[in-house]
Chain A
Amino acid sequence: MKYDEKTALHRAQKGDQAAFGWLVEAYQGPVYRLALRMGLRPEDAEEAAQNAFLSAWRGLPSFRGEAKFSTWLYRLASNAAVDILRREKKYENQSDIQDLQQSDDAPSPQEQLERQDTQQAVRQAMASLPPEFRQVLVLRYLQEMSYQEIAQTLALPEGTVKSRINRAKGQLKALLAESGNLFGGEAVQEAGKEERQ
């Protein structure tokens, strides 16, 4: 059966599993990638995504549609990912974060290598950040959410989101500078300025 999101949501809220299946199909990619980019290994990212969908299924009858379904689902997914990051000891001092295939616009081999190095360095540095910092960075840069949307997603004040992102970026820039992977020294100084502000 074909649905649009509104119909599927409405039916799923009333217990229609087929309609919920449609929602799972529609959102499994973004939810899985969110968990993956928070630093989880693929098998754990699938577990986090599955937990998020199960939480959504259980809570759907009381979902009142004040936020978008996707916003609510991303919150469940990022919280599920944070839970796993805290639970699993293997994520302590993590440095071997998954290097995932990237889509490239055919740059030169040299450029491609440099770009891959930078991407790998950023992901490794992110893996050293606390789960709450990864959460806001992934929502900001992977899901491309505004501060307001992140605040809504995480049920946090907008000011808290802004300061958390600034602190996360500051730490990340410092880590990248330390490992010699940040473009010039000026970015570190900018990060310091942002934090002070």
Chain B
Amino acid sequence: MKDFDKFDEMMRDALVCDETPSSDFTRRVMAKVAATPQERLRRQAFPYLKVAAAAAACLVLVYVGTLPLRMRMGSAAPKNQAYSTATTDSATMEAAPEAGEMPDETAGSAEDYYGFAADNSLEASLREESGTNDALITASQKAAAIGYRVEVSTREDGVTVCKLTTPAGCAAAELWLAEQGFADDGGYVLHAVDVAAMNEALPGLSLPEGDCVLILAPEA
């Protein structure tokens, strides 16, 4: 602090003090500390979230990509058999659907046809793959409930980036950040305590609590 000028000296002089808190301050703080649990050390969850998200995308692609094939395989035997018994009826043969088309009502329900029950098995399998995925699902659901969409990614330098978007912008979050003295420098650098405080300040918001760069943007 060598660059203090006269004004700086005046400031120092005005601010210096040797006041101390009351004598029972430590006792009062420690009484509260005794009743306050420490936050559990959080696992570094974001790489797992990324893996879970990638796995989910792969599962969806595989599922969609193999749908026609599985439809053909599932319908081949009964349809071929049906057509072979109908070869004498040329009118029926012409009207018969091509293999690969959806079977009609008489061929059984869609569930039976595709060989699995419609039981949200995709989400269930995701949850099984990574318990930490629950945090992202919860965060996204809660954020969606108050009009935000949350995207979590990891930058090349390993920094976690949380992107909050809404159609109309993120006024409440921006206001809170400004009130805390955060400046928008292409994003807001938040430590775990800030994220926790923000989640607390904006009811319903539940960003994954860890150090991150937060980007607020209106939905494209």
Q: Which residues of A contact B (CB under 8 A)?
A: 15, 17, 20-21, 24-25, 28-29, 32-33, 36-37, 42, 45-46, 49-50, 53-55, 57-62, 76, 79, 82, 86, 100-103, 115, 118-119, 122-123, 126, 131-132, 135, 137-138, 140-142, 144, 146, 154-157, 160, 169, 172-173, 183, 187, 190-191
Contact = CB atoms under 8 A, between A and B. Distances in A.
Contact of A54 (B8, B32, B181, B191): B32
B15 interface: yes
B46 to A, nearest CB: 14
A58 B191 CA distance: 14
B14 A122 contact: yes
Contacts of A183: 6, 10
Nearest to B180: A79
Contacts of B22: 46
Contact of B16 (A24, A102, A140, A156): A102
A154 B193 CA distance: 12
Contacts of A76: 193
Interface string B49-88: 0000000000000000000000000000000000000000
Contacts of B189: 155
B181 A154 contact: yes
Interface residues on B, range: 35 or more
A144 B1 contact: yes
A96 to B, nearest CB: 16
Interface stretch (B23-31, B127-135, B146-154): B23-31
B192 A169 contact: no
Contact of B7 (A20, A115, A187): A187
Nearest to B9: A141
B185 interface: yes
28 contacts: A15-B38, A17-B33, A17-B34, A24-B26, A29-B18, A32-B20, A37-B15, A37-B17, A45-B21, A49-B25, A50-B28, A54-B33, A57-B33, A59-B193, A61-B38, A61-B40, A62-B41, A82-B181, A102-B17, A103-B18, A115-B13, A135-B181, A140-B11, A142-B15, A154-B181, A155-B190, A155-B194, A157-B183
Interface of B: 1, 6-8, 10-22, 25-26, 28-30, 32-34, 36-42, 179-183, 185, 189-194
Nearest to A35: B21
B20 A28 contact: yes
A162 B40 CA distance: 36
A173 B8 CA distance: 11
Contacts of A37: 15, 17
B181 to A, nearest CB: 4
B26 A25 contact: yes
